[in-house]
Structures are given as structure tokens and as C-alpha cells.
Amino acid sequence: MMQNINNIIELVGWEAIKLIIGLIGVLVVVVVNALVLTWAERKVSGHMQRRIGPKEVGPYGLLQPIADTLKLIAKELLTPQNVEKPLYFLAPVIVFIPVMVSFVVIPFDAYLQVKDINVGILVILAFSSLSVLSILLAGWGSNNKYSLIGSVRSVAQNIAYEIPLLLALLSVVIMANSLSLKDIVESQKGLWNIFVQPIAFLVFFIAGVAETNRTPFDLPEAESELVAGFHTEYSGMRFALFFLAEYTNMFIICAITTTFFLGGYQGPILPGFVWFFGKTYLLVFVILWFRWTFPRVRFDQLLNLSWKLLIPVSLVNLIVTGGILKL
Amino acid sequence: MVEKILEEIKASLVTAGLHEASYAQNGYHLSLELQTGNITDGAKLFMANAFYLEDLFCVDYIDYLELVYFFNSYKELYRVKVTLKVDADKPVAPTISHIYTMARWYEREIHEFFGVYFDGHPNLTYLFLHDGIDHYPLRKKRVPVPDEDKKLLNSFKPREEDDCFFVNLGPQHPSTHGVLRVVVKMDGEYIISAEPVLGYLHRMHEKMAENRSYLQFLPNPARIDYPGALLLNLAHVATVEKLCSIEVPERAHYVRTITCELNRIASHLLWFGAFPADLGALTPFMYAFDDREQILDILEDVTGSRLTYCYFRFGGLYNDIDDTFIDKTKNFIKRMRERFSMYDKLITGNVIFVNRAEGTGIFKQDEAIKYGCTGPFIRSTGIPYDIRKAEPYAVYDQVDFDIPTGTIGDNMDRYRVRMAEMEMSLRIIEQAIAKLPTGPFKAEKVPKKLKPPKGDIYFAVESSRGEAGVYVVSDESDTPYRMRWRVPSFSNLMTFPSLAEGNLIADAIATLGSYDIVVPEIDR
């Protein structure tokens, strides 16, 4: 038995086994995170709106997400008549790939990381910009005017907000002298980056909310204008995949913020991953809080905010950081 | 001003049909009979004197059709009824839509209901009806729609051109608050033109009124404007009371004022919840409904229903209010004042909300007379016109209240005016409760079968959206010969295309939300 296992390990290499186990772990985290966030969103929105939210299914409505999932799985997959079939089918699948890859490089704890790549942050940024492709495909393939407007908005929004996102991260990268997420966490021993780089933190978080298409930047799916935006024509499990991706994206943005600005898994007494998830979910709560208290910005206001405020501010911040470090 | 317009009419128009009417009896000051040739001049004259087109409709007297134009002024109450006789067999009249823009819709309405052809009208297509209707519904005798007219009625077709596309906002759409459809021609995110398509909730209340007695029609007004049911209920009841000279006891008047103002707050709260939802903020909706629920509970106790009230009767009320009602109302006033200061902090102080609402959907003050807009919609532009002040009914002349006005007429002004109006309503209720007299709550000896004397009457109330007027022609029978409803949302919505043009779709939807339109009221 032992011999067999050793043989297999020799055959495919220890690294590959580690990667497969890691990916399974990532899949579990993604699904569990989506379930938790569905429940959290419904509870948070309920309490913010003077309601109690779900309470019938399970204690405190904890099993509600499972019931929701079952409903979505059981639903018939409707395909509207005049859709561009390949694109329409491909979009919900593509939306999921970048989301999974981003998880690989996030350090959940000092040794709880699927793979520490020395260009970790580039991997995340490169793949997260791919998610806009799937939104564009969904909008185009749906053959629906609302979807199309929603996806076009999404592209403009993502391009505009990726720049401040990157610039804000760069100033941290300069300080840590590394692109590896683990190094960046380690560099924050003693003092978290949020205290050193408050402006970068704000810029990154705002841009991150915009990247995930959450209120007040939820223009691609603006309900009162575009019905449901790019996913108007999707139902059942296809809709669920978009839904899952949205929640996972939210988690990733919060996880990166934690890693870059809140000291990642570092913290006293409790184990590292508890700190990591605690900080991340605190940020997730802030995003939920935004959604249930803010109106939506208008399209031109959204772009103006990025091009006229966030980008100049983060550029100046980057230059000042570089200048101070050089001196 | 009154003398001036009288002189001008005498100088320039044929004066054969000029009669000074009794305002107390008819609800209008002057009746003027014009010929087909000089209605355009007449309209121009009223336009020059800043009169707004209050209403335009048709009455079928079998031998001839009578077009009735009501003109009124925002500055000083002076209602003029202008009539125009047209031939019943071949009804043709000149259009006044190039002078009063609002006449475009009124004339389309008359065209499809009576078959009157308006010479020079740009678009005489269906407004409420559809081509399954093969005769003119409001004519007293069955008159089939000729083929050529049907062709004209059916000629509305949005045409796609290069660099633009059409989007149907509605009839099923999250933002249209009912079954309004707006055909929007768009260039990217910008709107080139917007055309409201009405009639998805058309139920022909005006025809219904002709077929049932005054009492039987009593529940209908609540279905015309469901969020402000009591206010329209009052319009109908008070019109009939005035027509039949029924005296109403003082206490009933006070209770009517209190319940109407409660209903106005409920209606404004509904709007207050829906407007931020159009801007993407969904939470205020729940808060507003929480408050509204309190009013519904209070009104349920006395009226017996929660939404479509039918509480007023000819000569009084269905039943009297008691101390529990007064206590509950007082508690509600206290609660509401606290809530308003909270809303002020949460919503009026929200920078995103202010940025979205300020400077968008601006409606200019001098445009108002072209459309005949009323209610909070024109008060936001700075015109202090309120029927409760201009021609007080119930006990509005005995309570002290101001008319909140805005300055530039943008979405934020409309928001502010409605919020201030709710506070004003609380003030009115407070005073009315303090002054509430004892005594009977309904008049004695109101005949079961009302047969009003021959004549016509116009009566208007300030509903939560503006001037809701009723015009009744009585022929001494127990059913009205013709009942016409002048509804505020109809003339307010007409301004939407001009406000939407050239703007972003997000702004247009916010603007549409700021109108507080009620589709059943528009479609009737």
C-alpha cells in the first residue's frame, strides 16, 4: 500500500499532489464561502431593513442557502430562442475560472497556501481582469439590450478601476520589495500597512468594490435601470454560477485587502487562519453594509471618480512612497 | 387680471356665447361658447395671459358633440369653461396642440373615444385603446370606427435608424411602478427620445360612471388612484354634494380633512420609499412602509379597508371616529416627527443621493402652463399653486398651513417639497384634531336615490399628486350624463419626454421616479 502511494508520488511528483489537494480545498472554500455569504447577505439586509431575514430553514435560517442551492439546481435551464449559443453557454463557465486561480496564491495562514508564487499578485490581477470577459460574453450572447448595456458598462468600469487598483497595490509592493503575497504579509510584522498606507488602502478598497460590481457601483446589473443587467437572460444553475462568482470575487477582494493592508494571517494568540478569515469577513460585512445603505452612482460619476480622483491620488501616493523609500 | 382677460375676450373673440357663471354652483367663473374658427385664437389669448389648460374633453349630446376646454390660472383662481360645438356625423375641430402641448394627449384621447378628428394634430394614434375596439366607446349611440380612422389610429411605429436602438421600458420593468411603457430611443447610454405608451390599465371608469347611479360609483374613485384613495373619494362625494346641494355637518368636514391628510402622508411615504429604490437604495423602502403601515392601521379602524377606501358618503361619513382613533393619530404624529429627522440624516445627507438628485430632471417654471401640471411637481419649480389654498374645500380654510415650494424644479426639489408637505400634513391634522367639533357626522335625510337638477359642475381637490377634478353633467336622472375625471398624473407625465431627452438613462429613470405617477390614475 505504502509502496503504491510512494510510486504514485514519484510518478507525478509531490508538487502536483499538493496542488490537487490544494485545489480541492479551494473548491470547498469557494462553495462554503458562497453559502455563508448568501446567508450573511440575507441576514444583514434583513436587519438593516428592520426585518429578521430567513429563519425558517434550520436554526437562524442557516440552512437557507442550501435550500436556495437545491432550488437553483432543480430549476429548468431555460435558453432563450435567439441567443448566441456558444457564447451564452460559455460565459457562466468562464466567469468561474479566474476566480479559482486567484485562490491558489492567497496565504490563509503561514503554511496554509496552495502555492507561493513569486509573482503572486500579478497572477491575481491578471486573472481577475479575465472575469470581465465573461460578463461581456454573457451580455453579447444573451441578445438582449439590457444585457448588452450592462456588459458594456461593466467593461468600461473594469478598465477604469483596474488602474487605481494596481497603483494602490504597487505602493505596498515597493515597500515589501516583493510580489509574493507571503513576503508582503511577513513585511507587515509589527505594523500593518493600513497605518503606513491609509490612502492606498482606501483607493484599493473603493476600486475593489467597483471591480466586484457591488453597490454603489453595481451599474452592470443596475436593477431599476437594466432589470438584471448582463445576467437578465440566465436562469437556474447558470445564474447560480454568476452568483457564486460574484460572492467569490467579493471574498477575493477582501482577502487581498487583508493580505496587503491588514497584516494577513498575523495576530496574537489565535491561530493565523482565524485572524485571516476574521479580517476578511469584517471587510465583507462592510461591503454588504454599503449595498444596503447606499444608492447607486451614475455612470459618468463612476468614471469621473476613477479617472479624476482615484488614479491621480494613487499616482501621487505611489510617487511619494517611492521618494521616501529612496531617501 | 380678471377684468383684463374679460376685456380681451370681448375685444377679440365673438362674444355671443359669453356668460358669467356662478362659481358656487358650477365651480367655474365664466362660460364661453366659441366657433370652430376662433378656438385657436382663444387658446392663444389664454396662453398670453398665462392660463393653463386644466382639462380638455368631449361630451356627446347626440345631435352634436361638445368639446369642453377648462382654462385656469396659477396666480389667481379664475376658471373659464370654453365650449365648442362640433358636428356629430363628421366631427372635425382645429387642434390647439401647437399652443398647449398637453392638448396632444387630450386630443388623442377624444379622438379615440369620440371620433373627433383634430385638424393639424401631429399624431392621432391610440393612446389608451387598441384596435380590437371597433366603435367609439364614449359616444351615446353606437358609432363604428371607419377603416381610414383605424388606419390612422394604428400608425404608431417606432423606426430604428442607424446609430440608435429602441428599448421598451415596461410594461414589465422594475422601475415603472406599474404598467407604464416608455419606448425609449437610445444612443448608447443617452436618450434621444422617449414616448410613453399608455392604456395597459385602462378600465373606462368614465363610461362606468354613466351606467351606474352616483352611489354605485362610490367605490370606483379609490381604484382610479389607489395610494390616495380617500382624496379621490372626497372629490366624487363633494362634487355630488355640491350638485345636489346637500349640507354636510361640520364634524364630517373635519374628519374628512384629518383622514385625507393621513392618506396624503401614506401616499407620499409610498413615493418616498420608491424613489430611492429607483436610485438603487432599497432600504428606505422598508422604513417608509413601516411608517405607512401605521397609517393603514389607523385608517382601517374607521374605514374598514386598508388601501381602496370608500369612507365618505353623500352628506357625511360611513361611521364616526372615536377616541382611540384620535389617540393613535396623535401618537403617529409624534412618531413621524422623529422619523423625519432620521430620514433627513440618512437620506437627505447622503452624498451619493444628493449627487444623483440635484440638477437632474429640471423642469422649468414657464413650461408649466403648456402642460397644465399641478401638485408637488409644479410646486417644486416655485409656483405656489395648491387647490387646498386656491379654492379651499372641507376645512382647509380654517387651518393654518404653508405651501412648500422648491426653486429650480429638479429631482431634489421634488424630493424636498414632498418631504415638507408630509410635515405640513401633520400640522394640518394636529390643528384639525384640536378644533374637532362634536355633533352629527352625517347629514340627515339624504335621499337614497339622488336625482340632481339639470346642469354641470366642476369640482377639484388637491390629491397627493396634484389637481384631481371631477366634471359632471346631470340630466336629472339618477346616473350622470357624463362624468369626466381630470387626473394630475396624466398631465404631469406628459412632460416626461422633454425631461428625458438628451439625458442618461439612469437620470431619466430617477426623473420618472420623482413624478410619483400612478398608472391606474393615468389610464383610468
Quick: pLDDT tens for B208-225.
888 888 888 888 888 888
Q: Which of A153, A218, A298 lies at the smallest CB-CB distance from B507?
A: A298
ipTM: 0.80
CB–CB contact B286 A51 (8 Å): yes
Q: How far is B292 from chain A (nearest CA, A)?
A: 14
Question: Which chain A residues are Cβ-neighbours of B175 within 8 angstroms?
Answer: 224-225
CB–CB contact A297 B189 (8 Å): no
Neighbours of B121 (CB within 10 A): 18
Q: Provide the chain A residues 219-238 that lie in CB contact (below 8 A) with chain B.
A: 219, 222-225, 227
CB–CB contact B506 A296 (8 Å): yes
Residue with cell 431575514: A53
CB–CB contact B175 A224 (8 Å): yes
Question: Which chain A residues are Cβ-neighbours of B504 within 8 angstroms?
Answer: 298-300
CB–CB contact A298 B356 (8 Å): yes
Rg (CA), chain B: 23
> What pLDDT score was predicted for residue B176?
66
Q: Which of A49, A215, A225 lies at the smallest CB-CB distance from B509?
A: A225
CB within 8 A of B37, min separation 6: which ones?
Answer: none
Please state whether beta strands B92-94 and B117-119 pair in parallel, antiparallel, or not at all (unpaired).
parallel
CB–CB contact A299 B504 (8 Å): yes
Question: Which chain A residues are Cβ-neighbours of B281 within 8 angstroms?
Answer: 293-296
CB–CB contact A224 B286 (8 Å): no
Sheet hosting strand B455-463, strand order edge to edge: B455-463, B466-474, B482-486
CB–CB contact B506 A216 (8 Å): no
CB-facing half-sphere around the CA of B39: CA atoms within 13 A: 28
Helices (H), chain A: 2-12, 14-48, 64-74, 85-94, 97-104, 120-128, 131-141, 145-176, 181-186, 193-196, 198-211, 223-226, 236-261, 272-293, 299-304, 311-326
Residue with cell 353623500: B314
Q: How far is B177 from chain A (nearest CA, A)?
A: 10
Question: Which chain A residues are Cβ-neighbours of B513 within 8 angstroms?
Answer: 224
Please state whether beta strands B455-463 and B64-73 pair in parallel, antiparallel, or not at all (unpaired).
unpaired
CB–CB contact B165 A145 (8 Å): yes
Low-confidence ranges of chain A (pLDDT < 70): 1-2, 8-9, 114, 223
Q: Which of B167, B282, B286 lies at the smallest CB-CB distance from A50?
A: B286
Q: Which residue does chain A place closest to B176, by CA atoms?
A: A224
Per-residue model confidence as pLDDT tens for chain B (524 residues):
677 777 777 777 666 677 777 777 788 888 888 887 788 888 888 888 888 888 888 998 888 888 898 888 888 888 888 888 888 888 888 888 888 888 888 988 898 888 888 888 888 888 888 888 888 888 888 888 888 888 888 887 767 677 778 888 878 777 667 788 888 888 878 888 888 888 888 888 888 888 888 888 888 888 888 888 888 999 999 998 888 888 888 888 899 999 999 999 999 999 998 888 888 888 888 888 888 998 999 988 888 888 888 888 888 888 888 888 889 899 999 999 888 888 888 888 888 888 888 888 888 888 888 888 888 888 888 888 888 888 888 888 888 888 888 888 888 888 989 989 998 999 999 888 888 888 888 888 877 788 888 888 899 898 888 888 899 998 888 888 989 998 888 888 888 888 888 888 888 888 888 888 888 888 88
Looking at the complex, does the CB of residue A216 fall below 8 Å from at least one CB of chain B? yes
CB–CB contact A294 B276 (8 Å): no
Phi, psi of B43, rounded to the nearest 5 degrees? -60, -40
Neighbours of A257 (CB within 10 A): 22
Q: Which residue does chain B place closest to A147, by CA atoms?
A: B167
Q: Provide the chain A residues 17-76 that lie in CB contact (below 8 A) with chain B.
A: 45, 48-51
DSSP labels for B96-136? -TTTSTTHHHHHHHHHHHH--EEET-S----SS--TT--B-
Q: How far is B414 from chain A (nearest CA, A)?
A: 17
Q: Which of B277, B286, B353 lies at the smallest CB-CB distance from A224?
A: B277
> What pLDDT score was predicted for residue B160?
67
The Cα angle at residue B292 between residues B239 and B249, in degrees rounded to 5: 30
DSSP-derived letter for residue B500 is H
The structure's pTM equals 0.86
Q: How far is A232 from chain B (nearest CA, A)?
A: 12
CB–CB contact A50 B509 (8 Å): no
Q: Best residue in A146, A215, A217, A224 to probe B by mutation, most B CBs within 10 Å?
A: A224
Give the span between the Cα atoms of A296 and A218, in whole angstroms: 7
CB–CB contact B287 A50 (8 Å): yes
CB–CB contact A295 B504 (8 Å): no
State which H helix or E strand residue B484 sits in: strand B482-486
CB–CB contact B174 A216 (8 Å): no
CB–CB contact A294 B280 (8 Å): yes
CB–CB contact A49 B277 (8 Å): no
Contact indicator for A204, A165 with CB cutoff of 8 Å: yes
Q: How far is B287 from chain A (nearest CA, A)?
A: 7
Could you give the C-alpha distances from A5 to A1, A2, A17, A265, B102, in angstroms and in order? 6, 5, 11, 33, 85
> What pLDDT score was predicted for residue A161?
87
Looking at the complex, does the CB of residue A300 fall below 8 Å from at least one CB of chain B? yes
Q: Best residue in A225, A288, A296, A309 to probe B by mutation, most B CBs within 10 Å?
A: A225
CB within 8 A of B513, min separation 6: which ones?
Answer: A224, B175, B177, B274, B275, B277, B278, B279
CB–CB contact B504 A298 (8 Å): yes
Q: Which of A49, A296, A299 lies at the smallest CB-CB distance from B280?
A: A296
Looking at the complex, does the CB of residue A302 fall below 8 Å from at least one CB of chain B? no
Q: Which residue does chain A place closest to B355, by CA atoms?
A: A297
CB–CB contact B281 A301 (8 Å): no
Give the span between the Cα atoms of A62 and B171, in whole angstroms: 37
Q: How many CB pairs under 8 A join A and B?
A: 77
DSSP labels for A6-66? HHHHHHH-HHHHHHHHHHHHHHHHHHHHHHHHHHHHHHHHHHHTTS----SSSGGGTTHHH
Give the span between the Cα atoms of B313 and A285, in whole angstroms: 54
Domains of chain B: 2-153 (3.30.460.80), 213-483 (1.10.645.10)
CB–CB contact A49 B282 (8 Å): yes
Q: Which residue does chain B place closest to A150, by CA atoms?
A: B189
Give the span between the Cα atoms of B33 and B13, in whole angstroms: 10
Q: How far is B424 from chain A (nearest CA, A)?
A: 27
State which H helix or E strand residue B73 sits in: strand B64-73
Give the span between the Cα atoms of B374 and B379, in whole angstroms: 8
DSSP-derived letter for residue A308 is I
Question: Which chain A residues are Cβ-neighbours of B167 within 8 angstroms?
Answer: 145-146
CB–CB contact B167 A145 (8 Å): yes
Looking at the complex, does the CB of residue A218 fall below 8 Å from at least one CB of chain B? yes
Q: Which of A227, A299, A301 lies at the smallest CB-CB distance from B173?
A: A227
CA B378 to mean position of chain CA atoms: 13
> What pLDDT score was predicted for residue B265?
92
